[in-house]
Amino acid sequence: MNQRRSKKIIRWLVTVTFTLVCVVNIFLTLSGRKPERVSTIVLHVVQLMLLGAVIFLWGEERAECQADFDREQGDRKN
pLDDT, tens digit, 9 for 90 and up, residues 8-64 = 888 888 889 988 888 888 888 788 776 677 777 888 888 889 888 888 888 888 888
Tell whether the model's pLDDT for residue 78 goes beyond 70: no
Provide the domain count of the chain: 1
Phi, psi values for residue 70, rounded to 5°: -60, -40
Asked whether residue 1 carries a pLDDT value surpassing 80, the answer given is no
Amino acid at position 72, single letter: E
Query: What is the C-alpha separation between 3 and 75, in angstroms, rounded?
Result: 24
pLDDT value for 21: 87
Hey, how many other C-beta atoms are within 10 angstroms of the C-beta on 18? Answer: 20
Per the structure, the complete domain to which residue 57 belongs is given by 2-77
